[in-house]
């Protein structure tokens, strides 16, 4: 999964390996040139419990969340909020 400008990331993408929806979400973030860090929920039991059935999830620094399903328009609305 490509991480776009992880050092300056304003967003987190919660995902797991092999999740095709997560790959679609990452592609939308990359297409929008959004700096994000991808965090695999399987590496943390708490994250796995919290997001296990709702990934992919995009989290903003201000604690807002965007859960799948979302499209490019909904992502842009979330980013502009």
How far does CA 71 lie from the centroid of its chain? 12
pTM of the model: 0.88
Torsion angle of alpha carbons 54, 3, 30, 60, nearest 10°?
A: 50
Angle between helices 72-80 and 20-31 (to 10 degrees): 60
The radius of gyration of the chain's CA atoms, rounded to the nearest angstrom, is 11
Sequence spans of domains, the chain: 6-80
pLDDT surpassing 90 at residue 6: no
Examine the pLDDT at 50 and tell me if it is beyond 60.
yes
Rounded CA-CA distance 40/33 in Å is 20
At residue 9 the predicted structure's pLDDT band, cuts being 50, 70 and 90, is: confident
Residue 67 phi/psi, 5-degree rounding, is: -100, 150
What pLDDT digit, counting tens, does each position of 24-38 carry? Answer: 999 999 999 999 999
Specify the CATH class of 6-80 in words.
Answer: alpha beta
């Amino acid at each position: 999964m490509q991480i776009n400008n992880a050092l300056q990331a304003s967003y987190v993408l919660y995902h797991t390996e092999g999740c095709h929806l997560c790959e679609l979400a990452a592609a939308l973030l990359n297409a929008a040139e959004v700096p994000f860090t991808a965090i695999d929920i399987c590496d943390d039991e708490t994250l796995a419990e919290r997001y296990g059935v709702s990934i992919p999830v995009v989290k903003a620094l201000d604690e807002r969340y965007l859960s799948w399903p979302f499209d490019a328009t909904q992502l842009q609305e979330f980013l502009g909020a």
